[in-house]
Every structure is written in C-alpha cells, then in structure tokens.
Structure 1
C-alpha cells in the first residue's frame, strides 16, 4: 500500500541536520512495517518506511556542530523509536546528528546504505555468543548472514556458512571455513546464528548447552537441552556504526547490492523482497 506523496520539506531542529537522501536501503523490516508485523504492533498509516540512509547534509539545525552543509553522511534512523516519523523513504530527512556518521569518500552512497542495520545486527548478535569452535550461520548469502560470516571468521570462530543455491562462491569469498547448501542436513554445532531465521531446524543443530541467536522470535527449544536462545533486536551504536562503515570503505568488510530502483518504485522493491531470491540488497536512489 505504498504511494508517492508530496509532503512539506522538513526543517532541521536543534541537534539535527537535514539530509538530502541519495540512497535508502530496502529491508524486510520495511515490508513488515507495511503489514503491521513488527514489534510493538502495527503503526497507523500514513508513515514513512526506511531505516538506512546515505546522502549529503543540506542544512544544519541550531546547536549542531558535528556536521556542515555538504558533508557526506550515512546513518540509521532508529525506526523502532520513530515508527515512520521520520522514515528514510524521502528526498529529505530531518535526522538527529547522533543517528549519522561521516561517509568516507571511498564508499559510494548506494553501498553505504546497505551497512547500518545489517552490519550492526550482525556485530551485536555475534556478541551474544561466547567464543566457540564451530558456529553455523544460516542465511549466509544474505546481508546480515554475510556480515556475521566475515566478523565471526575474523573473531576466530570456525564458521559453517549456509548458502543459497548457486551462491556458494560468494559465501566462500567471505572467508567461511565450510560452505553448505540449504538442503544439507545440519551437523551438531556449539552455536548457531540463525539469520534467516529457520527456527526449529536451526535450533535442532545446536548441541545441548549451546546457544542460538535469531533475528526475530522463534519457537522455544526444549528446556532440558540447556540451549540458550537469544533474539537480536537492533539498537543504534554510533561508535560501532562508524567503525563498520570504515571497514566497508577500506575493503575489510564486503557488502553487495542486487539492484537499484528510483524512490518512486518503492512498491516494486517491496514486491521483489517478498518474492525472495535476491543476491544482495535492493536500494532506492534519488538523483
């Protein structure tokens, strides 16, 4: 039920900057918002979807000293707080300065827009797992799973990464020690980062006393097995975001874009997300 509308141009208030949006990432969470399937319950329309934006500072509000007009920025609108007021699907966003970090010249707007929600979710979720020998990552072909795979390998985990059909080469390039197809039987591991999430199938692969981290609530595991279940819900960490953006800009972390569409084609982008099978993120662009 997305439609294009003309709204008054927002103004930057105290502690804010006005961002001229150049790219905004399309997430499954955006689609979930339009169907009301989000934590906290449905948001009464009208509202603006969109978490991750990249663009340029068009104006600076009173008391804001961190950014100047013309600065390149990338950031995450904490949609779990704003609930669409504001959202990122807009030509201009009045954003709190604390939501944004500088965008290095080495990183383009489109690629940058794929980083904030996905990379922070991966990093924060991985922190819920104590160091273990073998970690299974479901959905390693996806954005969150891809970042988890890279970060876990560098942290010393032995990573088994589950790849979509014909996408094994990409996942192997992320550094996974073992790449397994989605149809494979899952051998017991000490921990699972369930980025799809698969739910029961992923939980069944966890050894007794292990841990499974999912990106949304999944059915409970039999308590007698002693498996710890965690749900990773994003929270904005500006220092972490700046570090992760810098790592992508320097090539230490990889991301990928499936396609770009004009902002006015947001509804088509949502249809493609629902259809599945994307190799990378969809990003809406503005000239």
Structure 2
C-alpha cells in the first residue's frame, strides 16, 4: 500500500492532539473518486469537534479531521460517470462523518463533489464548500429570501457570514450585518447596507422589522436576535443546539425559528460555482498554513477574530 502525509487526531482536547504523520493512502470503492488534495479549509466546527463539543459521535479515534477540500481526481471507482481523471473538483464529503480532509489524498462519493470554479485557485475553492453551502441553504432553501426583504446576518465577517452577505445581496435584499468596528469596512465591501458593532450596541434595541435573521452565534445572542424580527419573521440558526429555549421564545414573540446543519450537496456546490464564476460571490481567505502547521491554524480559529476563511495547503 502507498503512504501519504496526513494530520491525525489522537484524542479529544487541545491542538496538541493533532499529529502530522504518515498513513495508508485510501482506495476508492464503487461510486467513489480518489482526489489528490491541494487544499483543505479549517472551519470552527473542526475546532469544536476536536475539543469534543460537536460531532465526535460521528467519528472514532484516531481519525483524520476536516471536511472542506479542493483537488484533482486521480482515480475513479466503478460506476462513476460524473468525473474523469484530471478533473479539478471541490466539496465537503461525508459531513458530519469523517471525510479525512487534512491529508494529501481523500476518497469521497462522486456526488459529494462538483467541478471547481474555473476562475479561482484550489486555495479559494477549498474555502468555499462548508461555509458556502451553509449560507446558501439557510438563505435560499430554508428562508426562501426574496428581493426587497430585510435580512440580518449575525457574525457577518466570519466564514459563513461573509458569504451570506454576498448571497443575500445578490438575491436583492437589504442586508444588515453585525461585526466589530474593525470589520465594518470589510462587510460593506461585500455589499452590506448597514453594519452594527455588536460589542457596543444591543442589536435587538437598534434593529427591527427584519424578515429573516441568519444566526451564526447561538446562546443568548441567538435568543435576543428573535426580537429584531417582524411578526411572522424567521430566524434560521446554525447554532440552535446552544439555544434550547429558542422555539419557546419564538412562539412567545409571534415569530418563527428553524435549526440548520449543513450536509453534502453537489447541486448546492454547482449553484455556488455559478455565483463565483459570474463574479457575484468571492470567498475571502485571511491566511494559508502548511498542512504540518495545522495546530497554528486551529489556534487562529479558536481566537474568533478571523475575517473570511483559513486554509491548509496540502501539497
């Protein structure tokens, strides 16, 4: 068997659990493709899961973390017709089960991947799937936003938030984002019509008559965001697990709430690809780390001051 370099997680806990090591290279089963990974992005859920606070029940130890990837198809399993060897692809396989993205090679079902946008490199393509699908599904499939709606995006400068601003603006909405003052120009450059510094302003006391809230923080913040909605308005939260009284609070206020968790979706990836190729969507990468420096990447995510995305280069 051939070997490859990968990051392996040995236990639940701090970044010291991430070990750069040699492991066996995977082989594609029927309907799967083998991808030579050029880049893999790091998401907050990677860090939470490493700490044992998220989807560790879907994983076993040791395992290779990460879900977002971009690379080149090196082999195809029996029955695969969507791709051929040499195709450049991107995706978020298997979530929340192990996708083994922090590695030089992965295998994945062909329908968990899509052709990479032609006008971006592997670094930017790898930064797109998990955050982009989250923003796309929340806005388009759950909230079904329409032109003229007022949309509030919590944590607008983050990985999901900065993409949600652009998608919401592309859909013709009035976009209000929350971010610290040093991120306001960044959010405005993405299309936000208004930006509020949540660290000095009580957003629910300043903003009202919102049709849709895209909520990305959870906890008490999630609950207070309900108060920005018009009667019958909808809050969609990617962090509803951290706000157990969400539905009761929404009912009292006469608004609606919905939980959301991303899942693999090649149709959604192709929609994101079209937006990127049209110039309507640009993924922002704050910093790129070598695969062996994954602990530093996780530490930067943990600080919660990232604008856009963090990416690992896997070559």
Other structure's SS at 1:239 match: helix
Q: CA RMSD in A?
A: 1.9
Q: 1:119 aligns with which of 120, 132, 137?
A: 132
1:43 to partner: Cα distance: 3.2
Deviations 1:63-103 (A, max 9, x none): 222222221111111222xx22x321111101111111111
Compared CA separation, residues 42 and 236, structure 1 to 2 (3 A): closer
Gaps of 5+ in 2: 1-16
How far apart are 1:212 and its partner, in Å? 1.1
TM-score (norm 1): 0.92
Instruction: Output the CA distance in 1 between the equivalents of 2:151 and 2:195.
Output: 12
Partner deviation per Cα, 1:171-197 (whole Å, 9 max, x = no partner): 112212222222323222333111234
Of the candidates 87, 91, 99, which is equivalent to residue 104 of structure 2?
A: 91
- Which stretch shows the higher mean deviation, 34-43 or 117-126? 34-43
- Counterpart for residue 251 of structure 1: 279
Deviations 1:30-66 (A, max 9, x none): 1111122225747331112111100111112222222
More helix by share: 2
Matching residue of 1:265:
293
Deviation at 1:14, TM superposition (A): 1.0
- SS of residue matched to 1:160: strand
Contact 2:117 2:125 in 1 (8 A): no
Which of 21, 34, 59 lines up with 1:43 in the alignment?
A: 59
Where does residue 174 of structure 1 map in the other structure? 190
2:225 paired residue among 196, 202, 205? 202
Q: Distance in 2 between matches of 1:189 and 1:181?
A: 19
1:108 maps to 2:125: no
Report what 1:242 is aligned to: 270
Match of residue 185, structure 1, among 202, 215, 220: 202
TM-score when normalising by structure 2: 0.84
Q: Which runs of 5+ in 1 are unaligned?
A: none
What number of residue pairs does the alignment pair up?
284
